[in-house]
Amino acid sequence: MIVPIVFLVISVAGFILSGLPLSFLFNEMVFRLSRNLILVMSLIIPVITGMGLNFGIVLGAMAGQIGLIFIINYGFGDIGGILIAVLVSTPIAILFGYLVGKVLNKAKGKEMITSMILGFFANGIYQLVFIVLAGRLIPIKNADMLMSTGTGLKNTIDLNIIRKSLDNLFFAKFTSFPIVTLIVSALLFVGLYFLLKTKLGQEMRAVGQSMHIAGVSGINVDRTRIIAIVISTVLAAWGQIVYLQNMGTLSTYTNHEQVGLFAVASLLIGGASVEKASWKEALIGTFLFHLLFIVSPLAGQNLMGNAQIGEYFRVFIAYGVIGLALLLHAWEKSKAKTQLSDI
């Protein structure tokens, strides 16, 4: 529990330095939690299955964005549009997840670095499809989405027709808070909880404990690992749709890039490790990471007279936290190894 406490102290100090009003902070935090929780949650299952932090959720985020590009192209708005986006992106995410799982099964023990490089690689393919092929091979009906040359999607696409249509569903008359989004996130968390109680969940945990023992006791290890990644990728796709309907604009070529980094950093700040993660860490971590995100530029401005320092500081925190967590984990593991051989 030491990691979350340290970050809580840093965040509170930053909050005092930033001089932000509490009500503003509260509003901002509710929205940030609602739009990031599902993305962070998508990391939990691969951790339990022993595959470490799945940086491959970048592919899930891409699938979500493909769903959104689809509905904007055909002009499906409101909550119906979001449902269609979910329906379109889910099979794509399942396919991506299957492919990621296949690749990761070939790189056992190096899953994290492989999933990260896989994210970069997929980014290249994504750009190929939407810069070069869109408008040529892929018909785009909505000319507003294309660059002036007629090929390639614009850098930013307006999502106004679905903006906040999930957030404001049903409760818009009473409050501006994203009640439905929070309910959906909570339901997914409950679903995850029950999934882990099922036979499949038990198998995942067994594979996470030891692939060898799980294999000997009759569990299909490779299949279980692929299922874990598929679930993670699908959740990431949904998470990205929820995130973007709140933001209201899609940065076509950059929105998915940071997803892996920020989600992983959030989970780790919450006290999770490469081998252990649950909904508690996801919730606490998302809260603390975004608290730090809001206060650090202003704190940097007030403390050092330069907002840029705060900006760099939070990037440093994101990378540093991941680096430190991975370092400590690997260290513990190798210490355990030497102790065994000493006996």
CA dihedral angle for residue 64, residue 37, residue 99, residue 197, rounded to 10 degrees:
-130
Nearest-approach distance from CB 127 to other proteins, in angstroms:
5
Give the span between the Cα atoms of 31 and 246, in whole angstroms. Answer: 8
Residues in contact with other proteins by CB under 8 A are 52, 103, 106-107, 109-110, 112-114, 116-118, 120-121, 123-125, 127-128, 131-132, 149, 151-152, 304, 306, 308-309, 312-313, 315-316, 318-320, 322-324, 326-327, 329-331, 333-335
**Is the CB of 102 or the CB of 280 nearer to other proteins?**
102
Instruction: Find tokens 């508690």 and name the residue.
Output: 280
**Is the CB of 76 or the CB of 312 nearer to other proteins?**
312
Nearest-approach distance from CB 213 to other proteins, in angstroms:
20
Over the range 289-306, which residues count as b (16 or more CB within 10 Å of their CB) and which as e? bbbbbbbbbbbbbebeee
Partner residues linked to 134 by β-bridges = 138
Residues with Cβ within 8 Å of residue 166, at least 6 apart in sequence: 79, 82, 178, 180, 181, 184, 242, 245, 246
**Is the CB of 54 or the CB of 181 nearer to other proteins?**
54
For the chain, the straight-line distance linking the first and the last C-alpha, in angstroms and rounded, comes to 30
**Is the CB of 247 or the CB of 303 nearer to other proteins?**
303
**Do 105 and 227 meet the contact criterion of CB atoms below 8 Å apart?**
no
**Is the CB of 16 or the CB of 113 nearer to other proteins?**
113
**Is the CB of 121 or the CB of 193 nearer to other proteins?**
121
Nearest-approach distance from CB 96 to other proteins, in angstroms:
15
**Is the CB of 113 or the CB of 195 nearer to other proteins?**
113
- Which helix (H) or strand (E) is 250 found in, with range? strand 249-251
Nearest-approach distance from CB 60 to other proteins, in angstroms:
18
Give the span between the Cα atoms of 306 and 139, in whole angstroms. Answer: 47
**Is the CB of 127 or the CB of 209 nearer to other proteins?**
127
**Do 129 and 70 meet the contact criterion of CB atoms below 8 Å apart?**
no
Nearest-approach distance from CB 148 to other proteins, in angstroms:
12
Nearest-approach distance from CB 131 to other proteins, in angstroms:
5
Nearest-approach distance from CB 166 to other proteins, in angstroms:
33
Please give the DSSP secondary-structure letter assigned to residue 253: T
Task: Return the HEC string of 175-215.
Answer: CCCCHHHHHHHHHHHHHHHHHHHCHHHHHHHHHHHCHHHHH
Please give the DSSP secondary-structure letter assigned to residue 128: I
- Residue 109: burial class (beta carbons within 10 Å; 0-12, 13-18, 19+): exposed
Nearest-approach distance from CB 106 to other proteins, in angstroms:
4
